[in-house]
Amino acid sequence: MDADSRASGWLLLLAQLPSTPSSSRVTLWRRLRAAGATTMVNGAWVLPETAHHAEFLQQLSEGIVRQGGTVFVLSTSISSAEVNETIVGRFRADRGREYDEFAERCTALLDEIDKETRAGKHTFAEMEENEQDLEKLVRWLAKIQSRDFFPDERRQQSAAIMDQCRNAVEAFTQAVYAAEGIQEIADSAAREPADPEGADAAPGTDGGGPASDRPAARRND
């Protein structure tokens, strides 16, 4: 859905789970939030009506029933433009909070790179850590955008600060190459065609960049 689109209808999930175990309610909450669902009142979850969302809620419903809960999935079309705008506003508010936190993490990375640069800490360890942090930000932004059903200016703003991070990490990487005296080697490697099979990749990598399965020491997602 683009910025000017409106949902043709809504899917409502009304669910009640047994009080124990509490992990079932936590799991339900996490799955709905991850899918981009929002709430209008306690226990009532809303998603734009699409085939994908209908299938998702059906799967959730089956799980709720298996756990001894009660669930209803309702399809509704609301004629009131004011009510529709209120629902859209809830979705945008949810995504807005995520975009704001994403921007904070991006700013933290930019500040860290600036501090390392001013201190002359152009080391492999710092370069690798910056690249890992960037990879996490890329994945995080993709998740937010996947559930941004009614995008506004914050989507473009987040893409812009993501580009700033990419440029800052690339500039720092080049500074590390220069400090280590391997700039010419790096330039030559960049001009060579990539091995399609990744035959030259080091163990533990996919040949396409730094390993992404190492936990960051400085910042957490």
pLDDT at 196: 45
Write down the pTM of the prediction. 0.78
**Burial class for 79, CB neighbours closer than 10 Å (0-12, 13-18, 19+):** exposed
Identify the three-state secondary structure at position 71.
strand
pLDDT means per 10 residues, the chain with 221 residues, are 60 92 92 96 92 96 94 90 93 97 98 96 95 98 97 96 98 94 64 50 38 41 41
CA atoms of 85 and 181, how far apart (whole Å): 58
pLDDT at 84: 92
pLDDT tens readout for residues 138-165: 999 999 999 999 999 999 999 999 999 9
pLDDT at 80: 87
pLDDT at 185: 55
pLDDT at 192: 61
Query: Residue 21, preceding bond cis, omega within 30 degrees?
Result: yes
What tokens were used for 22? 């509490």
